[in-house]
Amino acid sequence: MNILVVRNDKLGDFITALPAIYVLKKHNVDNKIVVLVAPLNKTLAEACGFIDEVIVDNGERVFKLAQKIRHYNIDTSLTLFSNTRVAIAQLLAFIPKRIAPATKIAQIFYTNRVKQRRSQVKMAEFEYNLELTKELFNDIDLDYEKPLLEFSDAKKVYDVFRINNDIEKEVLCFHVGFGGSSDANWSLDEYEILIRATVKTNRYQVVMTFGPDEKDLYEDMQRRLYDLHIVYYLSLDGLLYFAKLISSFKLFVSTSTGTYHVASLVGTPTMTFFGSSLFASAKRWKGIGEESKQEHFMIPVEVNERAKLFEEVKTDLLSF
């Protein structure tokens, strides 16, 4: 069976789809798994051994997208996040069975509409995705490997990075930026306090990572922390290199953004900050990795409560 899985949005959202994709392949290794992804996620999708083909959605017109999909002779599709354009493209690609959550007007273009009521957040986003696979195979096993993605050359990547940057201790990483998808984060002043306190313990080498579009933030943090021995890494080597590198880190500290989901995907322990609403909470956006390796904090809006939580975070960080 040729199965198309659609998750053509942001990095973190695509990673929440990977457990569902994995179990579809595990259910029957003869299933050919084709994914429709955003350009950002192309290399990550190609690195997953349980994905057979990758279609990149470049935002082309619906008829052209339908042509691209039709090339793969899809028997059934599983659309984890839908919009009208994607729904119509699948209809025009003559996919006989099209499964999607019963939300938005786009649902009228699918043959199988599943009521999930994700806004109630009764489970995490990746768990809703897993549940959707039951519409295709009611006896499917939803267990998946953790970490879900490993690299044979990850240690080599880390060793080269360590030697090039004179790193002799285990790495504790701070990723202070976010791509606008997070509902809450500490201020740069607050991060500076946490980083200075961590460096003072002298137990870990602090590394700060930044996305390729965060050069201003990269330079700002160097000015703020000029007196400390910190390694600053601006991620210009691609998403796969970043995933391989952080898979060897001792801890990855960040807000709930795409890089957090990458860390959980590759098995790195995480300390993560979430918004105080249910929509932005850890209950909805927890990582797909081992829960025992994830520490979640929901940042409150109220000033005194925020200050109290900040002290708890600092204590936990220094005792890690």
Task: Note the residue count of the chain.
Answer: 320
Please state, as a whole number, how many other Cβ atoms lie within 10 Å of the Cβ of residue 7: 25
Global confidence as pTM? 0.95
Beta bridge partners of 53: 34
Asked whether 37 and 13 are in contact (CB, 8 A), the reply is no
Between CA 252 and CA 264 the distance in angstroms is 9
Q: Which two tokens stand for residue 177?
A: 């930026």
Q: What is the pLDDT of residues 218-254, one digit of tens each?
A: 999 999 999 999 999 999 999 999 999 999 999 999 9
Instruction: Assign 2 to helix, strand or coil.
Output: strand
What domains appear along the chain, each with residue ranges and CATH number? 2-135 (3.40.50.2000), 154-318 (3.40.50.2000)
Q: How far is CA 44 from the centre of its chain?
A: 11
Instruction: Assign 119 to helix, strand or coil.
Output: helix
What pLDDT is attached to residue 184? 82
CB contact set of 166 (below 8 Å; sequence gap of 6+): none
When mean pLDDT is compared across 6-20, 144-158, 273-287, the lowest value belongs to 273-287
Q: How far is CA 135 from the centre of its chain?
A: 24
- Choose among 232, 139, 227, 221: nearest CA to 188: 221
Beta strands in 7-156 (DSSP E): 32-37, 53-56, 76-79, 97-101, 112-114
Amino acid letter for position 320: F
What pLDDT is attached to residue 179? 62
Please state, as a whole number, how many other Cβ atoms lie within 10 Å of the Cβ of residue 251: 20
| Alpha-carbon distances of 315 from 164, 171, 201, 319, rounded to whole Å | 31, 18, 12, 6
Q: What is the pLDDT of residues 41-67, one digit of tens each?
A: 999 999 999 999 999 999 999 999 999
Asked whether 116 and 129 are in contact (CB, 8 A), the reply is no
Between CA 63 and CA 41 the distance in angstroms is 22
| Alpha-carbon distances of 254 from 76, 95, 298, 301, rounded to whole Å | 37, 40, 12, 18
Terminal C-alpha separation, the chain: 47
What pLDDT is attached to residue 182? 56
Q: What is the pLDDT of residues 159-207, one digit of tens each?
A: 999 999 999 999 999 999 976 555 589 999 999 999 999 999 999 999 9
Q: Is the pLDDT of residue 300 over 90?
A: yes
φ and ψ at 97, to 5 degrees? -125, 120
Between CA 317 and CA 315 the distance in angstroms is 5
What pLDDT is attached to residue 119? 85
What pLDDT is attached to residue 178? 76
Q: What is the pLDDT of residues 84-136, one digit of tens each?
A: 999 999 999 999 999 999 987 888 999 999 999 888 999 999 999 999 999 99
